[in-house]
Amino acid sequence: MSSKSRKALIGITTYGRQAALPFSLPSEYIDAVRAAGGIPILLPPGEIEPAILLDPLDGLIISGGGDIDPVCYNGFAHPTIYSVDAERDAFELQLAKFALERHLPILGICRGLQILIVTCGGTLIPHIGDVYGTSALHRLEPEPGRCLPTEHLVRIDIKSRLANCVQNSHISVVSLHHQAVDKVPPGWQVVAHAPDDGVIEAVEHEHHPWAIGVQWHPELSTLNPSHQRIFQALVQAAHTQQS
């Protein structure tokens, strides 16, 4: 089988080390890539030369997870910041940098969107509630230390690549975050907002062939064709990368 006809290899970053627990990733990411026709390759943090990992890949997904250390974007500590992992931060920031430089198709999901923004010099809002009054629209907190996903609407710029992917300008999404993009770095444009509070929900690169970040979790809604089309578009862009 020639390299141009094989299935696209899609790297997916995993969660970091949590005490003595193994590296892990929710199975929904893997299922979404397989359903889109790609082959998922898991990328645990810790490699000292992450660029090497990109050599066999046709596309990359930077997954969700805990918060980025605010030191990475000249931010400040906040009591709501959780699960900071310096090893994962360093790994994903370098991986994103190299993927963008190589024009490798890349999808950032939740934390992954924030990694893309921070990699390029942007900043984050440490806690949405401090700026928008509440974070309840974007995740549920039934009790201290416990967070649950929630569903809300997102409005997408009809002229964006993302709107072309999902084939809609308004979609219902599942999210689980308390941070959001603040300063958007050069080269990126905002292409979606939450209409109820204005929080930035998606960005895409202006010059890269295919680089999109979404603040929600499309892998949790793949039975909805609009969300699965994001993964299909990534895999299609990865096939184009092969040629």
The model carries a pTM of 0.94
The neighbour count for residue 241, using CB atoms within 10 Å, is 17
**Under the phi-then-psi rule, with left for phi > 0, alpha for psi from -120 to 50, and beta for the rest, what region is 117?**
alpha
Percent of the chain past pLDDT 90, that is, above it, reads: 77
At residue 114, the pLDDT reads: 98
Q: What is residue 91's predicted lDDT score, i.e. its pLDDT?
A: 96
pLDDT > 70: what percent of the chain?
95
Model confidence at 241, in pLDDT bands (50, 70, 90)?
Answer: confident
Residue ranges covered by each domain of the chain: 9-242
Q: Residue 167 is encoded by which pair of tokens?
A: 């084939």
pLDDT tens digits along 99-109: 999 999 999 99
Q: Tell me, which fold does domain 9-242 have in CATH?
A: Rossmann fold (3.40.50)
Query: Which DSSP string do the residues of 158-204 spell out, in sequence order?
Result: TTSHHHHHHT-SEEEEEE--S-EE-SPPTTEEEEEE-TTT--EEEEE
Angle in degrees, CA 141, 143, 148, rounded to 5: 35
What is the radius of gyration, based on Cα positions, of the chain?
A: 17
What average pLDDT score do residues 142-165 get? Answer: 89
Q: pLDDT at position 3, please?
A: 47
Distance separating alpha carbons of residues 44 and 17, to the nearest angstrom: 9
CA-CA distance, 23 to 210, in Å (whole number)? 28
Average pLDDT over the chain, rounded to an integer? 92
User: Helix crossing, 27-35 with 225-242: angle to 10°?
Assistant: 70
Q: Which residues are catalytic?
A: 110, 217, 219
Whether the CB-CB separation of 138 and 174 falls below 8 Å is answered with no
Task: Give the pLDDT confidence score for residue 5 in this predicted structure.
Answer: 63
- Residues 93-122 have a mean pLDDT of 98
Q: Which residue has the tokens 């080390």?
A: 17
pLDDT tens across 70-96, in order? 999 999 889 888 888 999 999 999 999
pLDDT of residue 2: 41
**Would the pLDDT of 15 be above 70?**
yes
pLDDT band at 19 (very low <50, low <70, confident <90, very high): low
Residues 69/63, Cβ–Cβ less than 8 Å = no
| Token pair 């360093």: residue | 90
